[in-house]
Structure 1
Amino acid sequence: MRPEILFPLFAPVTSLKGVGPRVAPLLEKLAGPVVRDVLFLKPHTVIRRTPATISTALDGEVMTFEVTVESFQKPRVHTQPWRMRVFDQTGFMTLVFFGSFGSQLEQRHPVNSQRIISGKVENQGSFGWQMVHPDYMVEPGKAGDIPEVEPVYPATAGLPPRTVRKFVVEALSRAPEMPEWQDRAWLERERFPSWREALERLHGPQGEADLGLQSPHARRLAFDELLAHQLAMAQRKAERRREPAARIGPSELAEKIRADLPFAFTGAQERALTDIRRDLGAGERMSRLVQGDVGSGKTVVAMCAMADVAAAGGQTALMAPTEILARQHYETIAAPLAAHGVGVILLTGRDKGAARAEKLRALASGAVQVAVGTHALFQDDVAFHRLEMAVVDEQHRFGVAERQRLQAKGEAVHFLAMSATPIPRTLELTVYGDLDVSRIDEKPPGRTPVATRAMPMPRVAEVETRLREAVASGAQAFWICPLVSESEVSDLKAAEKRAGELKSTIGPSVGLVHGKMTPAAKDAVMAEFAEGRLSVLVATTVVEVGVNVPNATIMVIEQAERFGLAQLHQLRGRVGRGRRESACVLLYDPPLSETAQKRLDILRRTDDGFLIAETDLELRGGGDALGLRQSGFPDYVFTDPIAHRDLIAAAGDDARLIIGRDPELASERGLALRVLQELFDWKAGMALKDAG
């Protein structure tokens, strides 16, 4: 139950003065449904209103003047503005007003009256100074109504920044003094203000410096948010560890399967398998993520764990987000496992009738030990004989409820996630704080590095010519375009148009896949490409995770500067999967910005996905440029992943210490921390923000 101290902050926004039926939907869209959401709105700039005379006005600055009204100029047609001429002892200025309320101006501000005006000044050259729609226009006795320093808040149609500020100020008046949930020594070391004082400083900035992410009050609020999140994940991890699960030891079966493989494990694969086996043998429910680049060998490591589970009499489900990816996993593990008596089935939405019924019978009876599939695996009619491990690939592409439905097919099911999306180490805790993480950061031997070049778009004809020559010698290539079809808001070449051009250059062996195709149509084209019947596959980023074509040796990425660096890296990972030399061509629209140049340079220099992710974080400041939102990155309010990297680690350490000392949060600080978790909605039981 929510603590009583938070009741004022979780009242609906309609409880704020002036928020009626018309305003409420606008404010909810901008901030959220409760008062706390309005309180958490941050100003994005601050206006300092400088008193001045007209002769000292500065173009583009917000300034305040004491003036006398000289005259009015009515518009000749309704589309023209009203103009109001004012002066002080140093010069003249024109105030411009659009709209139909001009006649009221003369009544409210008659000729010869004195007024204090404040707003943005514009120099109109020979026409002199003007101010369009002054922010303030008051009588001299009400000068105190004009704030010298004014924070500017986000706005939306029908809800201007000043109105939003009024709601924020009222929300702030409802914020109570909270019990201190931070460690006292940490507060003193960081010189953090109290929670209430931090909010007052946030909403009462005295200048741009107070909006900075490294100001003490900004860091305080960010740390509160991070601690609430890390605490929830530490609690979740502790809860899982208290949950007894089947003890599964290393098996002779897995070693036989490994001995059959045509390659030896890399050191990183060995370490990952050791981590998994330690978890499986601990008698507690495993919750582990194996993170590694495309082609680093995650699936084969998971296969050995599946063999251990099968040898102990249990079953494993491997769930992938697309049928293509599920089929690829099935083709990787089915033969090695089947060769040693481990039954494997592939279950997708395509399975119907008698064939599907037979697969379901085999699963329910325990005749097969491994099921590979898509969402079809957690449908109601799918029953397992003894599901003991769930493996989820690219788990962030599934909803939490979907992952939980799969795990609910068994008792205390061990959970293993796999991800080819590289997350910088500094951000790992924010995304995977409730999972143990193993990194496979070595490439298998025999993988040929992909030669990467950047070329300007005007040389695209040269690239097409070289591609035609390569295709004539038996090569296959991907050509990636950012769009599906021509867009009114973008001048990018569409995938359809590019495919047509390449067909005229290369011939009919050019296929096209894009996001608007049906899954069956997409799969059919990809299958043609994988089987070598197509030489070039023109695609949008639907191939980012998916088709595995060892014969494909060329990757062309059009408008490369429009893609995130991590996304470019994953696309490049589609080639170089065989032993033949491979190449990636990054086509860009010149001129490149300095940041875009650095991003393409790092791709040319390295194929280490983790290093690339760290560099992208430095260059782009995180956010969607990294694809973090799609990677399950939390939707923080106060935290910036770059500016507050040191706080992420500190919050993780503090959370682990708290749970170690006070797992029930029963101490004085523990009770305050419960308030913190409720305040930010980061609670251990909240499925919506669960990672595993």
Structure 2
Amino acid sequence: MSGRPDILFPLFGDLEGLEGVGPKTAKLLAQLDIAKPRDLVFTLPHAGVDRRRRASLRDVPAGEVATVEIAVLRHEPPRSRGRPYRVQVQDTETAFTLVFFHARGDYLRKLLPEGARRVVSGKVEHFDGMIQIVHPDHVLPADEAEAIPDFEPVYPLTAGVNLKQMSKAVQSALDRLPDLPEWIDPALRAREGWPGWAAALRTAHAPLGHRELAATAPARQRLAYDELFAHQLTLALARASVRRGKGRVTTGDGRLRRKVLAALPYTPTGAQARALDEIAADMGAETRMTRLLQGDVGAGKTLVAFMALLVAVEAGGQGVMMAPTEILARQHLDNLRPLAEEAGVVLEILTGRDKGAERRAKLAALAAGHIQVLVGTHALFQPDVAFQELRLAIVDEQHRFGVAQRMELSAKGQGADVLVMTATPIPRSLALATYGDMDVSVLDEKPPGRTPIKTALVSAGRMDEVVEHLRGAIAQGRQAYWVCPLVEESEVSDLTAAEERFKRLRAALGERTVGLVHGQMPPTEKDAAMARFQQGETSVLVATTVIEVGVDVPNASIMVIERAEWFGLAQLHQLRGRVGRGAAASTCLLMYQPPLGEGARRRLETLRETEDGFRIAEEDLAMRGAGDLIGTAQSGLPRFRIADLERQSALMALAQSDARKLMADDPGLETERGTAARVLLWLMEQDRAIRLIKIG
């Protein structure tokens, strides 16, 4: 599979070869992300206009588009500059006016000679009790009126490209469609009643009515499925290439895990026990584990992760846990330390801060196998970090990690199993799109001892009451977070917002009580401020969103979020999850600046109603759309042209099982269907998948 198959050549040529597309139009189309004929045929019409012929405009409501045959009565050129040119016309039942601005009279007289019959089509308007059409879209002699389609597709346009040019270019691209082999499983296609690929494209570009523009129309569904299937095939190839690397069978005798369980003050939840069984079974298999451990804030991922690390240690190997930031790595260390002591396991941390002799000593201990569990940041990727026998790598907060990094990490240990943890509940369709190469374990129960959090909405005008409430709580020995919004994108103003609030709270509550953490601080200062808060030296921590992920202070039971309406749902949910970690009843105050917009109100009310992260994530997806939800740029989330992740999650699940089945039946993609699937991967520009086939 050396290069792109020749059969696809017509779809990957220059746009300029298409009808009506010169260098200027090609440049304009690039703004719509259209660079070649392939992009054009995948740009489907998003609306349509009914242009079926009517007898008269008499009963047509204003705002509707209508097509009617008329007799031209008379021309009324403008009396002064800047006034419109009018042509009075008549259909079978009523007279009306065609209106043109900046028009040349001689051109209009040629187009609409007095006494002639024409067919006109355009948007009907009512003006001073008169019917008019301003700048009709079509004016044609009756014998040429067939050129007006009954239902005209409407495309996304960009300044300088009109509908006529776009339609012409699309048509010209459709004329070049090659006849491609079928990559969809024949039984599936028959069951769904889907057309073939080229037929589906032609139908989608020539809808007969509004029903055919819907995502549920068979032609559109098939084209969406092609995109999802190509994407899932890429993930299935990635998964296969990880599994091809021989895994190691890692089974432990349970002695260390039993010690930890005996020391716990509670019994693990059913969800924790289930996840542990799934992970242990994967580690004991010959193929490499690639599993995602998904759990809401406070679902008890740390315990599950540590038990998995103990399986590696029981088997005589080492485990590593990687966090995205130094603060989080240190926190994992603090959370794991008591468990490690119960188990009698040597636990260490390695971050960018380790230098010189200390770093060399840690690396030597690691290579000799004296360190059994290592916690760290991406500093673990450096070439001089070598394990004696790495069996399990755990990556925290996946969405900062793409498929490529997952592979790089597992390459560190020859055949090490990989477990990814995320505290961001992701709706199923997105989980499939982003982690389709992995198996998923979900922690959907809260461990006992977690107190529910009371969430309230407070208008910013009641700031003084909130400060008084804080004063009382501090007097009782409670601690609070006060989160300031990130103002715009500029870090300077963000900083001033936090510093202003810090000064005012310090003035109100006392010098020693209030601490400050923001993104512009040197890491050492940030850590010191966090540590003072963790140890209870300060009672209130003013922070920008740097505290969002993972910071754990069990005594903190109040969370104030200022300008909560500026934050996304998932972010608010994550922030709220910083409290409610201890025994005290916790509150989260969402402060907003009235009036609230519709979207903001819905977000804040959703939070007030539920603490279920998965419900919140589904709502977030419905409100914001998929690209926004994980931030398309950093999520590696594919950009689909046709498929709609929010509404087609069932198709995505189907595509995943189909892709995995094809890989199981035909790992080299050599069969007839496999070869067709290769063509699909090239067509959908899945370069990563193509590289994987080559390696394979």
Same fold (TM over 0.5): yes
SS in structure 2 of the partner of residue 392 of structure 1: strand
Distance 1:302 1:69, change over 3 A: farther
Q: How many angstroms apart in 2 are the aligned matches of 1:201 and 1:522? A: 59
Letter in 1 for 2:156: P
Q: How many angstroms apart in 2 are the aligned matches of 1:644 and 1:179? A: 25
Distance 1:484 1:186, change over 3 A: same
Counterpart selection for 1:436 from 431, 436, 439:
439
Per-residue CA shift, 1:592-634, capped at 9, x if unaligned? 78886665555444433234434555x5385256547466544
- Mean CA deviation greater in 649-658 or 429-438: 649-658
Q: How many angstroms apart in 2 are the aligned matches of 1:116 and 1:125? A: 24
Q: How many angstroms apart in 2 are the aligned matches of 1:25 and 1:432? A: 36
Tell me the CA shift for residue 471 of structure 1: 3.2
SS in structure 2 of the partner of residue 408 of structure 1: helix
Per-residue CA shift, 1:60-86, capped at 9, x if unaligned? 22334645561333764xxxx562111
Alignment of 1:136-535 (within 5 A): 136-138=138-140, 142-251=144-253, 252-337=255-340, 342-425=345-428, 427-484=430-487, 502-503=505-506, 505-508=508-511, 509-515=513-519, 522-535=526-539
Distance 1:402 1:185, change over 3 A: closer
Q: Is the 8 A contact 2:238 2:692 kept in 1?
A: no
Q: How many angstroms apart in 1 are the aligned matches of 2:25 and 2:378? A: 41
Aligned to 1:639: 643
Aligned to 1:557: 561
Letter in 2 for 1:665: L
Distance 1:353 1:650, change over 3 A: same
Aligned to 1:679: 683
Alignment of 1:93-112 (within 5 A): 93=97, 95-97=99-101, 112=114
The unaligned stretches of length 5 or more in structure 2 are: none
Aligned to 1:666: 670
Q: How many angstroms apart in 2 are the aligned matches of 1:108 and 1:552? A: 80
Tell me the CA shift for residue 249 of structure 1: 1.4
Q: How many angstroms apart in 1 are the aligned matches of 2:374 and 2:454? A: 38
Q: How many angstroms apart in 1 are the aligned matches of 2:318 and 2:79? A: 83
Letter in 1 for 2:561: I
Distance 1:685 1:193, change over 3 A: closer
Q: How many angstroms apart in 2 are the aligned matches of 1:514 and 1:113? A: 76
Q: Is the 8 A contact 2:73 2:115 kept in 1?
A: yes
Counterpart selection for 2:37 from 35, 38, 41:
35
Q: How many angstroms apart in 2 are the aligned matches of 1:140 and 1:520? A: 80
Per-residue CA shift, 1:628-662, capped at 9, x if unaligned? 74665443332223432332333333334333433
Letter in 2 for 1:182: I
Q: How many angstroms apart in 1 are the aligned matches of 2:161 and 2:359? A: 55
Distance 1:481 1:26, change over 3 A: farther
Per-residue CA shift, 1:654-681, capped at 9, x if unaligned? 3343334333333333332332333224
Per-residue CA shift, 1:491-530, capped at 9, x if unaligned? xx96566556545554554455555666556545444433
Distance 1:192 1:54, change over 3 A: closer
- Mean CA deviation greater in 22-31 or 187-196: 22-31
Distance 1:241 1:624, change over 3 A: closer
Q: How many angstroms apart in 1 are the aligned matches of 2:524 and 2:139? A: 65
Q: How many angstroms apart in 1 are the aligned matches of 2:658 and 2:285? A: 25
Q: Is the 8 A contact 2:20 2:168 kept in 1?
A: no
Q: How many angstroms apart in 2 are the aligned matches of 1:467 and 1:187? A: 62
Aligned to 2:78: 73
Per-residue CA shift, 1:14-54, capped at 9, x if unaligned? 44345454443432341343322221112221122365656
- Mean CA deviation greater in 595-604 or 304-313: 595-604
Q: How many angstroms apart in 1 are the aligned matches of 2:417 and 2:126? A: 69
Tell me the CA shift for residue 319 of structure 1: 1.7
Q: How many angstroms apart in 2 are the aligned matches of 1:631 and 1:258? A: 36
Q: Is the 8 A contact 2:428 2:649 kept in 1?
A: no
Distance 1:140 1:598, change over 3 A: same
Tell me the CA shift for residue 422 of structure 1: 0.9
Per-residue CA shift, 1:248-270, capped at 9, x if unaligned? 21242343344444444222222
Q: Is the 8 A contact 1:317 1:370 kept in 2?
A: yes
Tell me the CA shift for residue 287 of structure 1: 0.9
Letter in 2 for 1:253: L
Letter in 2 for 1:623: A
SS in structure 1 of the partner of residue 84 of structure 2: strand
Letter in 2 for 1:86: V
Q: How many angstroms apart in 1 are the aligned matches of 2:106 and 2:375? A: 73
- Mean CA deviation greater in 631-640 or 439-448: 631-640
Letter in 1 for 2:479: Q
Q: Is the 8 A contact 1:334 1:344 kept in 2?
A: yes
Q: Is the 8 A contact 2:271 2:443 kept in 1?
A: yes
Q: Quote the sequence identity (%).
A: 50
Counterpart selection for 1:58 from 52, 58, 61:
61
SS in structure 2 of the partner of residue 30 of structure 1: coil
Q: How many residues align?
A: 677
Q: How many angstroms apart in 2 are the aligned matches of 1:322 and 1:131? A: 62
Q: Is the 8 A contact 2:241 2:692 kept in 1?
A: no
Counterpart selection for 1:11 from 10, 13, 20:
13
Q: How many angstroms apart in 2 are the aligned matches of 1:603 and 1:227? A: 35
- Mean CA deviation greater in 34-43 or 460-469: 460-469
- Mean CA deviation greater in 273-282 or 340-349: 340-349
Aligned to 1:609: 613
SS in structure 1 of the partner of residue 651 of structure 2: helix
Aligned to 1:545: 549
- Mean CA deviation greater in 590-599 or 325-334: 590-599
Distance 1:58 1:358, change over 3 A: same
Letter in 2 for 1:283: E
Q: How many angstroms apart in 2 are the aligned matches of 1:426 and 1:313? A: 38
Tell me the CA shift for residue 110 of structure 1: 8.0
Q: How many angstroms apart in 1 are the aligned matches of 2:80 and 2:327? A: 66
The unaligned stretches of length 5 or more in structure 1 are: none
SS in structure 2 of the partner of residue 584 of structure 1: strand
Distance 1:169 1:467, change over 3 A: farther
Distance 1:657 1:505, change over 3 A: same
Q: Is the 8 A contact 2:252 2:315 kept in 1?
A: no
Tell me the CA shift for residue 212 of structure 1: 0.9
- Mean CA deviation greater in 513-522 or 440-449: 513-522
